[in-house]
Amino acid sequence: MNTKSYRGVILDRDSFDRDDLDLTELQGCPVQWTNHCHTARSETSTRTSDAEIIITNKVVIDREVIDASPNLKLILAAATGTDNIDVTYCREKGIAVCNARNYSTPAVVQHTIALMLNLLTNQHRYLQDVRDGLWSQSNVFCLIDHPIVETAGKTLGIIGYGAMGKRVAEVAAVLGMEVLVSQRPGGKPAAARVTLEELLSQSDVVSLHCPLTDDTRGLLGEAEFRLMKNQAVVINTARGAIVDIDALARALDQGEIGGAGIDVFDGEPPAADNVLLQLDCPNLIITPHNAWATQESRQRLVDIIAGNIRAWADGSPTNTVT
């Protein structure tokens, strides 16, 4: 067991802990922590300058920050994605980068299905109608002014078939849906998978669960939305940049697709004038990148980070991306 103590900094603790987690495992690591609730770009290099270990959720750790942190040995992503970390430069500098994997699967699957069901049943619109008094004013016992669609017999198209995509497929099958899985963007053809074009043209719901890479950036744009059914809905709980939001806004506004449930944006928090935030569309549901954020999920995240630190300190690093 390595008994050395390290200097560590947590850059954006508020993004994963709101004083509702058990930090026993993290506090028990051989690290003297400095905690920051959030960190602005202009503050990052100063706060990491003496650190040997960094925990970051979304704070960018680029070449400039790395060069300003001469003692840096380990970067821990409080997330699965590491697109905010210059992993290539870390590899050159011999700095280990570890992420957290599969901690949020139950939460994101639950959120994905919730977005889908709300869009198919127009639940969000009916809730507003009740609040607006329309049910009380109705001449009949129920309100059925908005379409209500059953999942049974419908087709769910999944793009990204890792742990998350597979679990969504399992839940969808229980709901009576047929499931199509897209070929891996940029990858080789695989058995039992369909082309992206086939998936888009045949699916009633398209759900994204792939990472953001050069092959998936802007994966759904104008051409792709034109391939989809007019009543199809898109769910994105993956990464914002996978979808061209200008093309999505046009597709929604022009009725090319039936709706969208969006939990992620390219650049977060989004600007107030973001095209989707300005769009007056009843079939658009936007949630603030909190699909992952159940208390249970965040606790698993912290415990995985603590495990990553202990494994690295003992010379057997886990969940490495470098």
List the catalytic residues.
Answer: 239, 268, 289
Tell me the C-alpha distance between 217 and 322, whole Å. 22
Cα separation of 198 and 158, whole Å? 12
Which residues neighbour 224 within 8 Å (Cβ) at sequence distance 6 or greater? 196, 200, 247
The alpha helices in 183-280, defined as continuous H runs, are 196-202, 222-227, 245-253, 275-278
Percent helix, percent strand, percent coil in the chain, to nearest 5: 35, 15, 50
Q: How many CB atoms lie within 10 A of CB 181?
A: 19
Measuring CA to CA, how many Å separate 317 from each of 9, 104, 119, 207, 310? 19, 21, 43, 33, 8
Residue 110 — φ and ψ, nearest 5°?
-55, -45
CB-based burial label for 132 (10 Å; 0-12, 13-18, 19+): exposed
The DSSP letter of residue 319 is: S
What is the spatial distance between Cα 132 and Cα 103, in angstroms, rounded to a whole number? 39
Burial class of 23 by CB neighbour count within 10 A (0 to 12, 13 to 18, 19+)? middle
